[in-house]
């Protein structure tokens, strides 16, 4: 197993550790003298860093593999879903917002898989990248809001609203592009009709 894939697998193993740290009631809410929220935020930050690092290293070292292409998005979904569901359990995030975000993730993953099965690669949406950054900010801020930094709650909530908005808009864009894959002749026909209408006018 190459280094990028090893980092991805490490991210997967960090998921249950993150859930245990966030949801377990430790005595004094500390782990080895450190507030558990700081430990949870550090675990999530480390896992998010491996998300960037595995992609960067895979491209730089030309180690992109079929295994990596499968487990990397899976690891991302597991990490964010586990963190968001934990935040709902901690009363730091609204369940409907988390349901929208997770539902969008699985819907888009399904669409991209179906498109790939047809030999078409659907590139990531620019809005999807904004969503990812906002998601990391929201989760980190809300985790810290549960501990010694309650002022980060508003930051986390604002970032979470950005995540929901970009999730819905980028999700709609994925559906539009997928529909274009299923009906490739619709767009040219529609363009031809518009051209004819302009000439007629």
**Looking at residues 146-159, what average pLDDT do you find?**
83
Residue that the structure tokens 């809005």 belong to: 127
Judged against a pLDDT cut of 60, whether residue 190 lies above it is answered with no
Residue that the structure tokens 């900010």 belong to: 137
Residue 182's pLDDT is 74
Tokens of 140: 């980190």
**Looking at residues 108-130, what average pLDDT do you find?**
78
User: How many Cα atoms within 13 Å fall on the side-chain side of residue 192?
Assistant: 5
Q: Determine the CATH number of domain 3-200.
A: 1.20.120.1760
The pLDDT-based confidence of 184 (bands split at 50, 70, 90) is: low
State the pTM of this model: 0.82
Residue 118's pLDDT is 76
Tokens of 77: 């979904």
Nearest to 93 by CA among 157, 166, 136: 157
Judged against a pLDDT cut of 90, whether residue 68 lies above it is answered with no
**Looking at residues 9-34, what average pLDDT do you find?**
87
**Looking at residues 140-161, what average pLDDT do you find?**
87
- Cα 22 to Cα 109: distance, rounded to the nearest angstrom: 27
Contact 82, 18 (CB under 8 A): yes
């Amino acid at each position: 197993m190459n280094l990028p894939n090893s980092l991805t697998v490490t991210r997967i193993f960090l998921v249950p550790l993150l859930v245990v740290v966030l949801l377990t009631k430790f005595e004094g809410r500390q782990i080895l003298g450190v507030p558990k929220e700081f430990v949870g935020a550090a675990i999530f930050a480390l896992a998010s860093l491996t998300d960037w690092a595995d992609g960067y290293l895979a491209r730089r070292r030309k180690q992109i593999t079929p295994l990596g292409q499968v487990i990397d998005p899976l690891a991302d979904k597991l990490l964010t879903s586990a963190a968001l569901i934990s935040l709902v359990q901690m009363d730091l995030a609204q369940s409907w917002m988390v349901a929208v975000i997770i539902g969008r993730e699985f819907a888009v993953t399904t669409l991209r898989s179906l498109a790939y099965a047809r030999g078409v690669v659907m590139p990531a949406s620019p809005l999807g990248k904004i969503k990812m950054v906002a998601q990391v900010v929201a989760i980190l801020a809300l985790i810290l809001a549960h501990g010694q930094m309650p002022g980060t709650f508003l930051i986390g909530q604002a970032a979470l609203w950005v995540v929901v908005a970009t999730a819905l808009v980028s999700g709609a864009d994925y559906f539009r592009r997928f529909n274009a894959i299923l009906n490739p002749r619709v767009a040219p026909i529609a363009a031809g009709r518009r051209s004819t209408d302009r000439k007629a006018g």
